């Protein structure tokens, strides 16, 4: 770190400087990391923009820039009436479309708030990059009010010679108001999952343990057979389907049947700012013989990355001289980037779990055994609850539910299953509503439970219990 020493009462800043140094951030100027698209359709953007617009009106004559960022430090919006500070912030790339996390810009207010998930104030000389020392930044993380996950941040930036006494308090108030507004508007809204940066996994000797091997339904078998025929003919396959439906497992299973001697690598889509590293990490595998690469979630890739992949797939040859086999997965073929879509010969659909109920219990037993290392049984009541649920998140959700239940008991009963399986309501619930629903389900799924006993335990009348069951669309199998 530079000769300048940080005061002992700011250990978070010292740690941030050390991280910035490890990231290789320039001490002199911010190196811009830009994305061509900004998601303005998220609940965070909608609520944050409304809150900051109201705050901007009260600060009309103040040189304060108000910003919303996502959880990766991507600036989604910037509101400010002062042209001089706007021009200055443009020069250091603190603008919509640019990433300003620690690894991009070093120690700064919003980067520190996201890294530590805590309110942060970074004054002039406390910035790692000298190009930012003309500003003081206050930022506060915004958490998703339903999941508790980091959604993004609210950032307020002003000149370093301006008073900063109230800056952090204003940022905290704006972040709190944004969270409250998100909670109020979240009913009935499905939150969009953020991309996860992941490296590839190797499927080879352990393939027989893959999730798809437990599926027995006709729809699944037909999809695997269709992909197998295409692989055997040397065609390029795209497997499409809902998130969590098992697209990669289907492709792995079919390819293993067609070419049992080849190993299979699954390269999952990266976070937006990790695309370069992601490509560098696994694309050398394309030159190796007896290797098939499954690239998952290609519909989320930036256009330039899709173009690079298309060039690699069409130009790289194995040692044997033949083209490297590969598979693409996406939610829908129409969403495939043009350069990659044009390479596809066959499209195979992975059927959603709700359309193949015969697979639910075999998969559940498979996931439970993997969790505990030995077979786990399910009661008839638990089996009915699992098979009658509609599984909106498909196999991914089933895996999560079963692993949690199997960790609680040797014999899984319906009381070990989460309340979400007994409520078919389509609307998002507030935390209080979810707690109430969960308690009602818990009482109704206890051994020997009746509505009368549940009402007595909860201090409600039977009429209230029935009304709440209708409100939350609670359906307990066998009741």
The reported pLDDT for the residue numbered 209 is: 44
pLDDT in tens, 97-144: 999 999 999 999 999 999 888 899 999 999 999 999 999 999 999 998
Q: Which phi and psi (to 5°) does residue 61 adopt?
A: -105, 15
Domain co-membership, 22 together with 105: yes
| 321 lies in some domain | yes
* Residue 318: domain span: 201-351
Q: What percent of the chain has pLDDT over 70?
A: 87
| 434 lies in some domain | yes
The reported pLDDT for the residue numbered 175 is: 95
Domain co-membership, 180 together with 211: no
At residue 457 the predicted structure's pLDDT band, cuts being 50, 70 and 90, is confident
Q: What percent of the chain has pLDDT over 90?
A: 43
pLDDT in tens, 241-279: 999 999 999 999 998 888 887 778 888 877 666 777 888
Closest Cα to residue 13, out of 104, 83, 100, 116?
116
Q: Which range scores top for mean pLDDT: 14-18, 440-444, 446-450?
A: 14-18
At residue 320 the predicted structure's pLDDT band, cuts being 50, 70 and 90, is low
Say how far apart CA 42 and CA 37 lie, in whole Å.
13
Final residue of a domain: which of 351, 370, 391? 351
| 2 lies in some domain | no
Task: Report the CATH number that the domain containing residue 212 is assigned in CATH.
Answer: 3.40.50.300
Final residue of a domain: which of 325, 351, 377? 351
| 52 lies in some domain | yes
The reported pLDDT for the residue numbered 230 is: 93
227 or 478, higher pLDDT:
227
Task: Report the CATH number that the domain containing residue 414 is assigned in CATH.
Answer: 1.10.8.60
pLDDT in tens, 41-60: 899 999 999 999 999 988 87
62 or 186, higher pLDDT:
62
Contact 85, 159 (CB under 8 A): yes
Ramachandran class of 145: left when φ > 0, alpha when ψ lies in -120 to 50, beta otherwise: alpha
Domain co-membership, 288 together with 412: no
| 479 lies in some domain | no
The reported pLDDT for the residue numbered 318 is: 60
Domain co-membership, 217 together with 277: yes
Whether 7 shows a pLDDT value over 50: the answer reads no
Least reliable range by pLDDT among 218-232, 347-361, 463-477: 463-477
Domain co-membership, 245 together with 279: yes
Closest Cα to residue 301, out of 265, 334, 270?
270
Domain co-membership, 30 together with 179: yes
The reported pLDDT for the residue numbered 477 is: 64
Residue-averaged pLDDT of the chain: 84
Final residue of a domain: which of 302, 331, 351? 351
Least reliable range by pLDDT among 234-238, 269-273, 381-385: 269-273
Task: Report the CATH number that the domain containing residue 160 is assigned in CATH.
Answer: 3.30.450.40
Task: Give me the number of domains the chain comprises.
Answer: 3
Q: Residue 473 CA to chain centroid, in angstroms? A: 28
| 192 lies in some domain | no
How many helices and strands in the chain, by DSSP H and E?
17, 13
Say how far apart CA 476 and CA 367 lie, in whole Å.
23
Domain co-membership, 365 together with 231: no
The reported pLDDT for the residue numbered 478 is: 58
Domain co-membership, 370 together with 307: no
Beta carbons within 10 angstroms of residue 124's beta carbon: 15
Whether 4 shows a pLDDT value over 90: the answer reads no
Whether 395 shows a pLDDT value over 90: the answer reads yes
Domain co-membership, 322 together with 414: no
Whether 473 shows a pLDDT value over 70: the answer reads yes
Q: What is the rounded end-to-end Cα distance, in angstroms, of the chain? A: 66
Domain co-membership, 282 together with 378: no
| 3 lies in some domain | no
Beta carbons within 10 angstroms of residue 268's beta carbon: 19
| 477 lies in some domain | no
Closest Cα to residue 422, out of 383, 474, 467, 479?
474
Return the ∠ at Cα 135 (arms to 130 and 138), rounded to 5°: 120
Domain co-membership, 428 together with 394: yes
Mean pLDDT of 379-403: 91
Three-class SS of residue 153? strand
pLDDT in tens, 281-309: 788 877 777 788 899 988 888 777 888 88
Domain co-membership, 158 together with 290: no
């Amino acid at each position: 770190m530079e000769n300048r020493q940080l005061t002992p009462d700011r250990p978070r800043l010292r740690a941030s400087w050390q991280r910035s140094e490890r990231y290789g951030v320039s001490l002199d100027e911010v190196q811009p990391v830009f994305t061509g698209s900004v998601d303005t359709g998220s609940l965070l953007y909608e609520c944050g923009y409304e809150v900051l617009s109201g705050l901007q009106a009260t600060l009309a004559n103040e040189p304060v820039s108000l910003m919303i960022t996502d959880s990766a430090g991507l600036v989604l919006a910037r509101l400010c009436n002062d042209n001089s500070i706007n021009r200055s912030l443009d020069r250091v790339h603190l603008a919509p479309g640019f990433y300003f996390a620690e690894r991009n810009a070093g120690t700064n207010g919003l980067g520190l708030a996201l890294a530590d998930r805590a309110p942060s104030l970074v004054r002039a000389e406390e910035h790692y990059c000298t190009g930012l020392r003309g500003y003081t930044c206050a930022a506060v993380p915004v958490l998703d009010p339903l999941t508790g996950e980091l959604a993004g941040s609210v950032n307020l930036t002003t000149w370093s010679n301006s008073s900063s006494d109230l800056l952090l308090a204003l940022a905290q108030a704006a972040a709190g108001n944004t969270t409250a507004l998100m909670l109020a508007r979240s009913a009935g809204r499905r939150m969009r999952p953020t991309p996860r940066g992941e490296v590839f996994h190797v499927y080879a000797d352990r393939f027989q343990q893959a999730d798809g091997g437990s599926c027995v339904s006709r729809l699944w078998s037909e999809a695997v057979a269709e992909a197998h025929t295409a692989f055997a003919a040397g065609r390029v396959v795209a497997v499409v389907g809902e998130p969590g439906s098992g697209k990669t497992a289907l492709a792995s299973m079919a390819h293993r049947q067609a070419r049992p001697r080849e190993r299979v690598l699954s390269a999952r889509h990266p976070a937006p700012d990790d695309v370069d590293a992601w490509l560098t990490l696994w694309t050398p595998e394309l030159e190796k013989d007896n290797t098939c690469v499954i690239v998952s979630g290609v519909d989320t890739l930036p256009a330039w990355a899709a173009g690079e992949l298309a060039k690699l797939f069409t130009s790289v040859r194995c040692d044997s001289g033949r083209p490297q086999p590969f598979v693409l997965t996406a939610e829908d073929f129409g969403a495939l980037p043009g350069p990659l879509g044009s390479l596809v010969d066959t499209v195979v659909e992975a059927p959603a779990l709700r359309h193949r109920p015969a697979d639910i219990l075999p998969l559940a037993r498979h996931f439970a055994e993997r969790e505990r290392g030995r077979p786990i049984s399910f009661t008839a009541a638990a089996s009915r609850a699992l098979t009658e649920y509609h599984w909106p998140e498909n196999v991914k959700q089933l895996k999560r539910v079963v692993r949690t239940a199997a960790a609680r008991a040797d014999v899984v009963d319906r009381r070990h299953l989460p309340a979400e399986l007994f409520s078919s309501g389509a609307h998002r619930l507030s935390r209080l509503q979810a707690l109430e629903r969960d308690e009602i389900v818990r009482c109704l799924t206890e051994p020997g439970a009746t509505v009368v006993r549940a009402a007595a335990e909860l201090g409600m009348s039977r009429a209230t219990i029935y009304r709440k069951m209708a409100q939350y669309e609670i359906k307990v199998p066998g009741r």
